[in-house]
Amino acid sequence: MSRAQVLVTLAVAFACATSPRAAAGATSDATPANGEQLLARVKSVFRAHDRPPYLVYTLIRRDTHDGIPDFENSYTLRIWCRAADRSALTRRMWNGKPYGGMDSITVAFDGAVDPGPPTADIFERALFAPASPAPDPTPLSLPTIGSTSVTRDFDYRVVRADRDGAMWRITLEPKRDPYRNRLDQLWVDATTFEIRRMRSRDHLYFGLTGQSVEDEYDAHFTERDGLPMLASIHGETAWGGYETDYTFTDVSFPPTLPAWYFDPKSYGAHRADVPG
């Protein structure tokens, strides 16, 4: 679909959405007029939420290979996370209780760690993505003659936007770096513009070798006190028959956590204080 067709599709759908029949459920803000404005509204709504500085949650991971359960790579973790840098203390869980030693990880997407945290900024560029094979072009240095305010996203272009029931389905493509700008599709509430689902590109890493295969994520969101959070992710590789399901449960937001949780060198002195 061409850019002109996208604009026509948006204009027609938005006209329907703001008709008298739909006016009762419409928001008071101006309705986006094109794909760029729609994406800008979604980003603005998503990032307007205050995200707690600390969170504790349980991550359930279940792997299969060619439809057969992969028990070696399936486990449950209890995670204590500092949102500012995603530093986290983790412990394995069994029968609902943490056990064993403490491990330190940096929770992130597209890295050799489990994805998260559930409050992650999905528009943030992937931290551990491989370097792009083609560097970004060097911007030209031009004199500033005047200035105006425009709605422009520097990471994604909207190639299609369709109404899917009570939601907008937005199809994206990266403008520069497909390794760091991972989003492919978003489903957002047509009234509140809150994100309900996303499809994104990631990688499934194998052990400590650093080898990986491309992994497609289909993630669903839930809301807690108005805050959108990841509830589940289904990952499926393009080849090899690997599938991974992640479920985020028992999320809490303590006002603070001990500093030693995020300093692995201090773990040995706090074995008696291990969180459970």
What string of pLDDT tens digits covers the 276 residues of the chain?
Answer: 554 444 434 443 444 443 333 333 334 345 677 889 999 999 999 999 999 999 999 999 999 999 999 999 999 999 999 999 999 999 999 999 999 999 999 999 988 889 999 999 999 887 655 555 544 444 444 455 554 445 678 899 999 999 988 999 999 999 988 888 999 999 999 999 999 999 999 999 887 666 888 999 999 999 988 899 999 999 999 887 999 999 999 999 999 999 999 999 999 999 899 998
Token look-up 């956590």 returns 257
| Nearest 10 degrees: Cα torsion 150, 155, 157, 160 | -120
* pLDDT of the residue at 151: 60
**What is the value of pTM for the model shown?**
0.81
* pLDDT of the residue at 225: 85
Planar angle of CA 178, 182, 185, nearest 5 degrees: 115
What does the DSSP 8-state code read for residue 206? E
Q: Which of these, 38, 8, 51, lies nearest to 186 by C-alpha position?
A: 38
Domain ranges of the chain: 3-15+32-124+153-267
* pLDDT of the residue at 153: 81
* pLDDT of the residue at 140: 44
Token look-up 């090899």 returns 240
Task: Tell me whether strands 167-174 and 195-206 are parallel, antiparallel or unpaired.
Answer: unpaired
* pLDDT of the residue at 208: 62
Which strands sit side by side in the sheet containing 195-206, from one edge to the other? 97-106, 87-94, 68-82, 54-65, 242-252, 227-237, 211-224, 195-206, 183-189, 167-174, 156-164
* pLDDT of the residue at 119: 96
Domain 3-15+32-124+153-267: state its class: mainly beta
Give strand pairing partners of 58: 78, 249
**Is the Cβ–Cβ distance between 247 and 232 less than 8 Å?**
yes
